[in-house]
Structure 1
């Protein structure tokens, strides 16, 4: 007498036993849900690990206490730079609110002209700078101003200046506007993105340094 065969279990949702195809589909779905759950868990663990690393880096990396806008003592730097050149370097005296963020002697790659450069953040938060070409020339000036053309002349601080107005040029960069003059072989240029009033302030202070009446 053969043993009694076990009858397939009746599935409540179906009201009958599963077919082989239904059983395979159910197991496949259960496996997919399990893998999906594992993937979500791994993703959260990975995000938590990344966050932990970021926190550690923030805590360990030293932070500078220097201000976002450095205020360089360009007058003191000019005294040091003066030892390297014979011509007197221009050091304009400016009102409160002007902050120098760079001051140095530079040597051009074409012609080897030495120049004294000072860059400023203006009170209106614009960029403005001046360069003095020691024994400079027109080639040095053209290179400095990226070959922009003279668009006019003006007199500021008793000194006549050539005007380079490229504010309508979207590619002008930091050379939106410039003023240039030369006195006794020294070339001077004021350039940047500031408005006319701040250009006038710097050009006037500079003119007082370069032999203007």
Structure 2
């Protein structure tokens, strides 16, 4: 082998002078300092802002029901519930995708589960199926002295359906059935007294 070929095959190991090594280290240290300052600038506002508090909004269902009664043509349900229950919305929808006018109220149970009350005087099997999340009939459940149709959906939500005095009521949610019973009993009291 010639000397030229041997030089080409031997790897060259770069050697840094002391000054070059200091410059390389200074670049790395500078980058670390800049990253630290950037993180500090980002973290300070994040830490100074208070975290959002989950507020349970409690709307006046009774007042909204009185306002909706003229449009509905009947007195929408606004049942009295025990302490610990709240509602986060109440609305009258004269027109929606199902074509059935509906009164809806969202209730938060004392265990912070959700149950939606849907009520109409124009209920039909299609509307019941849509409102209950295409659930299937799983049996019956007695609440408030009335027999409710109990339905289960693939998503784990339960529904209770009642037809009484020309009104169809669907309760839907993921709460325990004992909490459904509390709301169902209050609904029956309202339907009986209304």
Q: Same fold (TM over 0.5)?
A: yes
Task: Answer with 1 or 2: which has the greater Rg.
Answer: 1
Question: Aligned equivalents of 1:207 and 1:63: distance in 2?
Answer: 41
Q: 1:117, CA displacement in angstroms? A: 1.0
TM-score (norm. length: structure 2): 0.78
Does residue 85 of structure 2 align to residue 104 of structure 1? no
Q: Structure 1 length normalisation: TM-score? A: 0.72
Structure having the larger proportion of residues in helix: 2
What secondary structure is seen at the aligned counterpart in 1 of 2:191? coil
Partner residue, 1:204: 185
| Structure 1 counterpart of 2:3 | none
**Correspondence for 2:5:** none
Give the SS at the match of 1:103: strand
Asked if the contact 1:100/1:121 (under 8 Å) is kept, the reply is yes
Q: SS of the counterpart of 1:72? A: coil
SS in 2 for 1:92: coil
The match for 1:186 is 167
Deviations 1:166-197 (A, max 9, x none): 4xx4x33xxx2110011243210111111121
C-alpha separation between the residues in 2 aligned to 1:43 and 1:133? 65
8 Å contact from structure 1 (residues 116, 134) kept in 2 = no
Equivalences, count = 182
Unpaired segments of 5 or more residues in structure 2? 1-9
Change (3 A) 1:72 1:53: same
Q: Which residue of 2 aligns with 1:145?
A: 132
Aligned to 1:42: 31
Structure 1 unaligned regions, length at least 5? 1-20
